[in-house]
Amino acid sequence: MAASTGHPKGLYVLFATEMWERFSYYGMRALLALYMANALLFDKALTSRIYGDYTSLVYLTPLLGGYMADRYWGNRRSILIGGLMMALGQFSLFASASLYTPGQTAVSSAQMALFFLGLGMLIFGNGFFKPNISSMVGTLYPKGDSRIDAAYTIFYMGINLGAFFSPLVCGTLGEVYDASGNIVPSEFKWGFLAAGIGMLIGSLTFELFKNKYVVGPEGAALGAKPERTVEHSPVVPVNTDSPVRTETIAQPATSFASQLPKLIGIFVVVYAAIAWFMNYDWIGALVFSAMIVAPIAVLSDDSLTKREREKIYVILILSFFVIFFWGAFEQAGASLTFFAAEQTDRQLTASYTVPASYFQSANALFIIIFAPIFAVIWTVLGKRGLEPSSPLKMSIGLMFLAVGYLIIAFGVKGVDASTKVSMFWLITMYLMHTFGELCLSPIGLALVNKLAPARFASLLMAVWFLATAAGNKFAGVLSGLYPEPGKPAPHFVGFEITGLYEFFLIFVVLSAAASLVLFFLYRKLTTMMNEPVATAA
């Protein structure tokens, strides 16, 4: 029987569910920094730190959510619990914003408590929801079905549609200005409410249609409570926002029992050292300690062959460079939001000013436009034997990131804090960053799936996402260096940041340096991957 060229209806149920979840996440994120700075009266350093903590923990909790789903709840129950938790988290932020009183000079304990409760519920809800819905896409199809890659591309479009529309909707409702051009903090609640309603719509969509449509090739319900046997070890489903196949991969039983005491001891020592170095930033210490100890846990396995170790080293080395990428890229929700709100000329017409939150839609829109183009470019180059290896693509991605920051640094050079610059600089920078993301994010995820030994596939994917979490935390640290008039100039490795030009140069230097180092390493890494090296035309 010929394989069907269409897709199961369950794919579109998952597409709609994920689209509304991303609507909720990115709509809230578009307003988060503005809310903290204008309603909770946090300074930019504290706002950046909390933003970094939140976005980094979002990438840690899927490890817990995947474990719980695999061992106890199954995908379906985990998605429902996660979705409802995230909706409640958004409504908690709505309640926090509703307690704001115009002109307040201090924040009530109830407003603050509801804010942090909302963030906590969003963090853990995401952990239960995100990895489980991503891993269900591949299970809709028979093993080896050629439609799976196209299915993930369709699913990826749902992610970006939600990410595109959410800042426009939530920003319109929540980011409101008075006649003098000052933001009205009491209106943030409506943006958070819209994000919560979007999450409820996503959860309701899944619940209404899952039994009929989210079924396997034989018609059996997918994602039911698992039946465990002692011969199988826990599986951590993959959490991804990128257009690659990301399936749950079962690992043969591999015991770390003999290594566990040593690993715990190493973690405690590393955690204490990093916490002390980071002035007792406990969340930052947790993220960076996990990033250091997890690779040790993998490499401590004596069953690894020399060839397997080489491939794992490639994953670990590239994970290190990923930290620099996301540390610069994830300024979108923090320092670049400050820049859009305070120093970007957003006057589109005489009577209309573009909300600062709208600019966070740019990346999603550019991905929708350019992802197919990049796919064609790689295909054409591959047919001619000129396609860059994965490490070289990632080096190119980092250089695009540097170029983006160089463009905006040029735009603000010589401009004082009271002068606003054209939207052109910010939009062009986001375009370059999108090019960088398309060269790095899907490429890196596919590389991990390709190189990881089967028995460590889930653990090494977890390491990859730990690097993303570390990059998000690093983004918060760097955003805290954003210069504020009237306050002492921040310093970074002895470099004084007297204005936005110097601030953006930090990201130019970090991204370009990481790109160049990776460029000089890519041939060696390509050899270790056993991929052919592209030759210059």
- Taken in order 338, 341, 342, 344, is the CA torsion positive or negative? positive
**C-alpha to C-alpha distance for 78 and 129, rounded to whole angstroms:** 6
Q: What is the set of domains in the chain, with CATH numbers?
A: 1-213 (1.20.1250.20), 301-536 (1.20.1250.20)
How many whole angstroms from its chain centre is CA 424?
25
Tokens representing 152 are: 């993930």
Tokens representing 157 are: 């479009």
Per-residue pLDDT at 235: 47
Closest CA to 337 of 363, 367, 359: 359
Tokens representing 517 are: 């180092």
Per-residue pLDDT at 253: 40
Q: What element of type H or E holds 117?
A: helix 109-139
**Mind listing the pLDDT tens digit of every residue in the chain (537 residues)?**
344 557 888 889 988 999 999 999 999 999 999 999 999 999 999 999 999 999 999 988 887 887 777 778 888 888 999 999 999 999 999 999 999 998 888 999 999 999 999 999 999 999 888 877 877 777 788 877 767 767 777 887 888 899 999 999 999 999 999 888 889 999 999 999 999 999 999 999 999 998 888 888 887 777 777 665 544 444 444 445 554 444 443 444 445 566 778 888 888 999 999 999 888 888 989 999 988 888 888 888 888 888 889 999 999 999 999 999 999 999 999 999 999 999 999 998 888 899 999 999 999 999 999 988 988 898 888 889 898 998 999 999 999 999 999 999 999 998 887 889 999 999 999 999 999 999 988 788 778 878 888 777 767 877 888 899 999 999 999 999 999 888 888 888 888 998 999 999 999 999 999 999 999 999 999 999 875 555 544
Per-residue pLDDT at 241: 55
Q: How many CB atoms lie within 10 A of CB 221?
A: 13
3-state secondary structure 1-35: CCCCCCCCHHHHHHHHHHHHHHHHHHHHHHHHHHH
368, 371, 376, 378: CA torsion to nearest 10:
180
pTM (2 decimals)? 0.87
